[in-house]
Structures are given as C-alpha cells and as structure tokens.
Chain A
Amino acid sequence: MLETFILIPGRTTDQGCGVSEGKFKAKYQTAVNSLQVAPGDMERLGLSEGDRVRLTGEEGQSVEVCITAAKKEELPEGLLFIAYGDISSQLMTGDTHGSGMPTSKGMEVTMELLQKATS
C-alpha cells in the first residue's frame, strides 16, 4: 500500500530569482522540479538523491518529479515540499470549495518510486 504524504508547495529564493531570469531557463526549472523529502523518510523508504517518483493526488491527478533531501530539521517526516510552479499546480484540483482558491497547500498525495537515480 502506498504511503500518503502532505505536500506543502511554497516560495523559495531560487524560484523567485528564477522567475526574473525567465521561466524556461535552468534556475527556475530546477527550482520548481525538485521535490524535497525529509531525510528520515528517504532513509525509511530507501530513497536516494535524484530518484524519480510519482506523486498522485486525491482525484488521481499525478506528476513525476525528482527528489532531493530537505535540509536537516527544515521538513518534518510525513511532509513533502516543492517550490510553487507547474508541478505543484498540476496537483491542484479544479474545485475551490466556493472560495475561488484551489487547495494549493496541505495536499494529500501518495508517493511511489519510478526510477532510481543513476550514480
């Protein structure tokens, strides 16, 4: 059975600087395509830096993304973090629950390993 995590998309310095350089340039693309995983979760699940995983949201929407270890203590186990961008937005659903705001933080997702990083 796949484990459920809570995904927190948010702002990062690299993502903010990358917007000014251009959304199709390397800095922005790297920032919004790196999923941070708590070191404890990576160890427990046998994941390594650069592994490719699939995240699947509550309505079956899914994305593929490479992982990186979060800095120590920055992310508690059970939480995932990614900079706002295309990947995080694809995991939102169309429903805003009458607010105009799609649930964009605190999304429940499952994570499965697709491909180990090549060393």
Chain B
Amino acid sequence: MTYAATQVYAPTPSVPGELKVIQDATCTFCGCVCDDIELTVKDDHIIEAKRACVLGKAWFLNHSIEDRPSCMVDGKPATLEQGYDRAAEILTHGKYPIVYGLSDSPCEAQRVAVSIVDWIKGTIDTTTSVCHGPSGMAFQGVGEVTCSLGEVANRGDLIMFWGSNPAESHPRHFTKYSLMPKGMFLPNGRKDRTCVLVDVRKTKSAKAADIFIQIKPKRDFEALWTLRALAKGIELDPDLVQRETGVEFSVWTDLMDRMKACKFGVIFFGMGLTMTRGKHANSEAILALTRDMNEHTRFVAKPNRGHGNVTGADNVVSWRTGYPFGVNHSRGYPRFNPGEYTTSDTLANREADCGMTIACDPMANFSQPAREHLASIPFIALDTKETPTTRVAAVAFTVATYGINTGGTVYRMDDVPIPLRPAFPSPHPSDYDVLTEIEKRVKKILGVTHV
C-alpha cells in the first residue's frame, strides 16, 4: 500500500511579495496541538500566528528554511542519494541497531521508521521513554480512566494538576481545554471550576489555582497513597502523614472532600511524577487513585504530554508492534522491556552498535555515559535544525518541519488525531521522504522482495 499523506497536505508555494493566510493551522510545539492557529505567510516566512501562545509564536515566527545542506556525511556536504545509501549500509551492518526519537514527526513517518526496525531486527524507542514512559508502564499495570480534552472543557468541575506546570509547558491548556472554557455543563467557565495544583515548588501555574499544595520533594507516592487511603475510608496517623508528605493532614482530608463532592474530576499529571523517585509507581498511584474515585463520582486522569506528536508515537508504535516504546525485534517478533530496550539503557550499557535518531537530541538530553557511547558508534540523525546530535552523526539529514512545511497526522495528548495544514514548502526533504528512501535501500540490501 502506498500511503503518502504528506503529499496530500503539501503546502502551496508562496508568490513573492504576496500575503498568504493559512486558516486552522496546527501548532506542533507541545501536546496540546492547537489546531485553530491563523498563519500569515509572506515570502516563505510566517509573519503572524494568531491565537498561538508564547511557545507557539516562537515555534512559528522563528521558523525559516535552514541554510544548510540537506545531507551531511561524515561532516561534509553530500547528495541525498549518498546519504540514503550510507544510512542503509550503517543500519544493515550492525548487530544491535537502535532507532530513537520520533515524537516530533508525523504518524506517517513514524510508521516507516517502525518498518525499518522490523526489517533490520532492531530496537525502536521513542522519547516517551524519557517522558511519560513510566506512565505507559503504569497504564499496562493499572489501566487508564480517561476522556478527551473536549469532555474536560465541557464537564470538568474539579481540575487538578500534579507535578505539571502548564503555564510554562502548555500555555493554552488553561484557556482552551481545562480552566477557562464555558462548557455544556459549566456555563460560567472558570467560576464553575475549582483548580488544585500539587507540586514541590510554587510554579507559575500556582497563580491559576484556587488551592496550591506544596509537598516534600520525592514524596508524591506517599501523598497519592494518602489520598487513596482517604478515598477508601482507611484511618491514618495525621502526624505520620504530615511528616511523610510535608503537608498537614487536614489539607488532604479537605482535598478528598472536594474530590468526592465534584461531578467530574480530572487529574492532569506531568513529569514531576515520572522523572522523580518512584517513577512508574507514582504514575500507578495516580491512576489507581483515579480508579478509586470512580466509586464516589466520575474521575479521569491524563498525562500532560510534551512534544507535538509524542502521543502519535505511542499510538503508531503500539499498532505496529503491540507495545508503545522500548520494543526489540532481534528474535523476529516484538518484545517490550523498559529498562532493557529503552534507549537510555541500550546506550549507557554500551549495547547498541549503530542507530538512527529522528527529531530528538540525545547528545544534549541523555546521561553522560549514554552520550559517550552514542558518539562512539555510527548513526544517522534527522532533524530540522543543527543540534549537538546532528554534529556528531555519521549521516545528518536536515529535514522539513512538520506542520509548517509538511503535512500529515499528529495525535493530541488525549489521543485525538489532528491533520496538519502546512504553510509553505521547504527545499529539504520531509522525514517521511528520507525514511522511505532509507527503507527502500534497506530492503534491497537485505534482499527483501515481498511487501
């Protein structure tokens, strides 16, 4: 099957000097994936991005065509053909190839990346593993009581944020989805909602909250299990709770009263839970608390997802392999094991011997042992801009930016697929195009004639 959605949504070229307006463009900077942006384009520059937040404006208005070669091999400009050939050679000659990233690529490109990994019997992992990977593990253990952001906007009368700072990470979260909208069952918008923020520091999001609860660092698990006990009516020692959580017991009982009394409670949780002590046990606790609360009222939990299509990466890798991230194909069938097949581990443990990074920057965001190993093996990097990772890659492709130069599909943080409406074309290939060409060559080298 040929599936070229990136072509379906290809942008029309700009006419020199003329203004072009793109209605309902989609911002792919964060997981909110706001699809109501009005872009004004002149001479292949976005000069206005109506309704975009501060991060969205920076995303759109700073975008220009990178004045770099589309392909570099061993630090020198090369043709795309040379790059595709070398990339396929690297990926097919390793014993433990890894492919990592993908959370800033459209689903169509993610799908091709999974195919390549399948052909080369490699390991695929996405930036989810260093984001909400622990929540992905918790979903499998506990399950997820969930809903769309539209339901939150129309029904959510108690909105909790735990270990999440949307004022800085998802600036339109409050106004578009969770706090300000006047919904079907909340005609007065913000006045009909109560907002609770739980965090270890008083972030900029605290201003938006009615109640701010500052817990001790690394005590999210204890705080969540305190609430679980209160939801179940289990007696607790107030002094012990205060010592463990850093918060007076009466604050927790008051919060539980509010949680039981609301009509539709929502907990948005962030990496304050997944990146700290407890990790997946913290996410399990918040999902289990949500399940507990449904004995009293309607309650849902949602992770606040960071990158524009990290949710798409979870979906695509799941429907291609059965697992969301950290998937190994070395035996010819997919195996899932976070801590073994996740990229932080395959690199820090010096197991991977070649790889490909797509729309990610492990040379800036990984631990030092992982970076040192990545720099020592041949790998391919696809990115829209120069990064510490592209600088050390054996083959570096400069690709067009999804949502601005290329179309396709992304998933909002609530698993709702959203189409992209690009603004103007790029001379650089899309990551879909690059991956498709690499896949063709991989199949040729491996002698694959079917599919």
A interface residue numbers (CB < 8 A to B):
6, 8, 10-13, 16-24, 61, 73-76, 79, 81, 84-86, 89-90, 92-106
Contact = CB atoms under 8 A, between A and B. Distances in A.
26 contacts: A6-B217, A8-B201, A10-B165, A10-B168, A11-B168, A12-B168, A13-B54, A13-B168, A16-B30, A16-B54, A23-B361, A23-B388, A79-B217, A84-B365, A86-B388, A89-B367, A94-B348, A94-B369, A94-B370, A99-B134, A99-B338, A100-B125, A102-B344, A102-B366, A103-B279, A106-B218
Given A74-B203, A106-B217, A90 B368 contact: yes
Rank and list the top 6 A-B pairs by shortest CB-CB distance, nearest first: A100-B342, A94-B348, A98-B339, A17-B58, A100-B338, A94-B369
B338 A98 contact: yes
B376 interface: no
Interface stretch (B18-26, B32-40, B91-99, B269-277): B269-277
Interface on chain A toward B: helix, strand, loop, or mixed SS? Answer: loop
Interface in B380-411: 385-388
Contacts, number: 155
A99 B365 CA distance: 17
Interface of B: 29-30, 54-55, 58-59, 62-63, 125, 129-130, 133-134, 137, 165, 168-169, 171, 200-204, 214, 217-218, 271-272, 274-277, 279-280, 306, 325-326, 338-345, 348-349, 361, 364-370, 385-388
A20 B52 CA distance: 14
A22 B55 CA distance: 13
A100 to B, nearest CB: 3
Given A23-B386, A74-B201, 20 more contacts: A11-B306, A20-B29, A22-B62, A23-B364, A61-B368, A74-B203, A76-B214, A89-B364, A95-B348, A96-B342, A96-B344, A96-B348, A97-B339, A98-B340, A100-B130, A101-B130, A101-B134, A101-B338, A103-B276, A103-B279
B62 A20 contact: yes
Contact of A99 (B133, B202, B271, B368): B133
Contacts of A18: 58
Nearest to A24: B386
Given A94-B348, A99-B339, A13 B55 contact: yes
B102 to A, nearest CB: 15
A85 B325 CA distance: 23
Contacts of B340: 98
A54 to B, nearest CB: 15
B405 to A, nearest CB: 14
B342 A16 contact: no
A74 B277 CA distance: 21
Given A8-B201, A104-B130, A93 B367 contact: yes
B55 A17 contact: yes
Nearest to B167: A13
A92 B365 CA distance: 9
Nearest to B130: A101
Nearest to A23: B387
A19 B341 CA distance: 28
A8 B200 contact: yes
Contacts of A61: 368
B29 to A, nearest CB: 7
Given A10-B165, A16-B58, A96-B345, A105 B276 contact: yes
B279 A97 contact: yes
Contacts of B201: 8, 74-76, 79, 81
